[in-house]
Amino acid sequence: MPNIGIVGAGIAGLHLGLLLRRHDVPVTIYTDKSPAQLANGRLLNSVAHHAPTIERERELGVHFWPVEEYGYACHHHYVGGEQPLSFRGDFARASSAIDYRLYLPRLAEAYEERGGKLDVRLLQAEDLEPLAEAHDLLVVAAGRGAFSALFPRREDASPYDRPQRRLCVGLYRGIAESQPKGVTISVSPGHGELLEIPLYSAEGFVTALLFENIPGGDLEVLADLSYADDPKAFERTVLDKLATHHPQTFERVDPARFELTGPLDLLQGALTPTVRQDYAKLPNGKYALAIGDVHTVVDPVIGQGANSASHSAWVTGQEILSDYGFDELFCRRVAAARADVVLGAANWTNLMLAPPPEHLLELFGAMARHQHIADEFTDNFDYPDRQWQILATAERTREYLARRTGSAA
């Protein structure tokens, strides 16, 4: 029976640890923050889990917030401009968003109940090799911190060298749910996107507003504005920007009740989308495998990161359970098995961050006119590999549209 070490206790580390524990594989997860610290800390993200991730939660016995009760099943799209577009796309299977300050500690608890070891300590890069000695395989699932240098950036899959959006995500009261309940994806051309997400937090259902702000645009201020300095001014600015740029969400706001749910329920920052090498050979001859953010960090603009990380964890776990060694062949098998979904998510996300090419606008236009195309685009949030097959080139998008609308390409 192999003994697996996992660095990082986010969704990738926990899903992998839980999968291995279901098969009685000895696992230790190393993390620099305890579950209690996470639970009482700052908002971590506003991520939604899509159906394949929820399916994995069910298989792991950790689907603690039943999607039937906590989820939603559509995307409301709003594309601003001179002739705004507004349309809806439906998922075949529901998604849901649970505050990771509830989600991760609950999964860590389940992991420990099932015999997984959780070792809370601050790790540096030089700690990796002793850890590798103690395990048959080291899986690095910690996106932040000292470990990314182990996995060189893949230039061929990393088109950006700086953040393309400056982010401001917070949890709010005073916004009525969209009908039917769903995520609203609102685009303010030249300024950025808003993802409005029905999210379940410690205080119940709230609204996450994830502002994806283009540097230099009118919305960038949201990434810099200090809530602590003047909460009311912060909230007023958010409301003003909503009114100007994201009217479909603004019209559901009750200004008298609108407020951030708490000072820790806000996260501002930015990240550089980066795809790194799948694995590294350590000086002692063993291999370290990268999963989750340390392998592929994507901008949250289309909510693919956590789902991609969970997929990667799942593929890794299946290979650990079925393979006979943790050598380079093992690492290459994992890399090959996840590439389609994980690189699909990264490539698609990176396309959405660029100034929209003509074929993307054509697709949006078709979505507004054809319900089945809007539904398929929405459902492909579950299948980023399929989405990328459609979006990778203008020729592909046009061929796809021709087939779906019955016209010649």
Residues that bind a copy of itself (CB under 8 A): 322-325, 327, 329, 333, 336, 339-340, 389-390, 392-393, 395-397, 399-400, 403
CB of 304 to a copy of itself, least distance (A): 18
- How far is residue 76 from each of residues 91, 248, 295, measured CA to CA in Å? 11, 9, 31
Tell me the residue type at 105.
Answer: P
Distance CA 35, CA 18 (A): 15
Nearest CB to a copy of itself, comparing residues 277 and 389: 389
CB of 403 to a copy of itself, least distance (A): 8
Nearest CB to a copy of itself, comparing residues 31 and 387: 387
Q: What are phi and psi of 356, to 5 degrees?
A: -60, 125
- How far is residue 333 from each of residues 20, 157, 311, 376, measured CA to CA in Å? 18, 19, 14, 30
Distance CA 142, CA 302 (A): 21
CB of 341 to a copy of itself, least distance (A): 12
DSSP-based three-state secondary structure for 180: coil
Of 226, 256, 253, the closest CA to residue 242 belongs to 253
CB of 85 to a copy of itself, least distance (A): 23
Nearest CB to a copy of itself, comparing residues 285 and 355: 285
CA atoms within 13 A on the CB side of 333: 16
DSSP-based three-state secondary structure for 85: strand
Distance CA 393, CA 371 (A): 22
CB of 74 to a copy of itself, least distance (A): 25
CB of 282 to a copy of itself, least distance (A): 16
CB of 286 to a copy of itself, least distance (A): 12
Nearest CB to a copy of itself, comparing residues 236 and 372: 372
Q: In what order do the strands lie in the sheet with 287-290?
A: 117-120, 27-31, 4-7, 137-140, 287-290, 279-281
Nearest CB to a copy of itself, comparing residues 339 and 368: 339
Distance CA 304, CA 101 (A): 19
CB of 156 to a copy of itself, least distance (A): 11
Nearest CB to a copy of itself, comparing residues 83 and 324: 324
Nearest CB to a copy of itself, comparing residues 364 and 400: 400
Nearest CB to a copy of itself, comparing residues 168 and 391: 391
Give all strands (DSSP E) within 230-273, no chain letters: 259-260, 266-269
- How far is residue 88 from each of residues 75, 80, 111, 185, 253, measured CA to CA in Å? 6, 15, 38, 10, 20
Helix (H) or strand (E) holding 341: helix 328-353
Nearest CB to a copy of itself, comparing residues 247 and 365: 365
402 CA to centre of own chain: 31
Nearest CB to a copy of itself, comparing residues 176 and 336: 336
- How far is residue 43 from each of residues 29, 267, 329, 379, measured CA to CA in Å? 22, 6, 39, 27
Distance CA 237, CA 82 (A): 24
Of 339, 305, 328, the closest CA to residue 167 belongs to 305
Nearest CB to a copy of itself, comparing residues 197 and 390: 390
CB of 328 to a copy of itself, least distance (A): 9
CB of 392 to a copy of itself, least distance (A): 5
353-356 own/partner pairs: CB under 8 Å, 24+ apart? 353/160, 353/164, 353/165, 353/273, 353/299, 353/301, 354/164, 356/189
CB of 384 to a copy of itself, least distance (A): 14
